[in-house]
Amino acid sequence: MAHIYMQFDFGKDEEKAQAARHKLETWKQAFRLDKKLLYKLARTEDGAAAPAPADKAEKIKGKSKTKEEPETKAALVNVKLLVRLAFSNHEKLSEQRWVQRIPGEEQFHAAKPEVVKPGDAKFAEVEKQFDELAG
């Protein structure tokens, strides 16, 4: 059974990535695609250095800056969504419909969709990346 991988690069927009993940999960349950539609999120840090944690001396009017830390840390992380379609040979029509449907949805438009099929040069690299990610 050949796999088709789809890569979506959401950049630093975690909310859009989570909305897309939620949409995939909805489809998985609604269409009973348990083993046929798998996805994993890959988070990579940007080249910029992470901000130092707030010290006790950096309190402003009794409030620390710890509330701002998650936003700045999240802003340094690039989010990619990897989707693997694993349909059997007799389900080629269903597979093709999903390859067209997923990137066409609103949640996936701005994510620079890229479809990687078994004959493509990047296929082995993407497959290895998908297998290494913790689900």
User: Above 90 in pLDDT, residue 67?
Assistant: no
Q: Write down the mean pLDDT value for the chain.
A: 83
- In this prediction, residues 42-61 reach a mean pLDDT of 53
Predicted TM-score (pTM) of the model is 0.78
Contact 31/85 with Cβ under 8 angstroms? no
> Which helix H or strand E contains 92, and what residues bound it?
helix 92-104
CA 4 to chain centre: 15
Contacts (Cβ under 8 Å, ≥6 apart) of 17: 8, 10, 41, 79, 81, 111
Model confidence at 59, in pLDDT bands (50, 70, 90)? Answer: very low
Please state the domain extents for the chain. 4-50+58-132
Cα atoms found within 13 Å of the Cα of residue 121, Cβ hemisphere only: 0
DSSP-based three-state secondary structure for 51: coil
- Which of 74-83, 90-99, 104-113 is least confident? 74-83
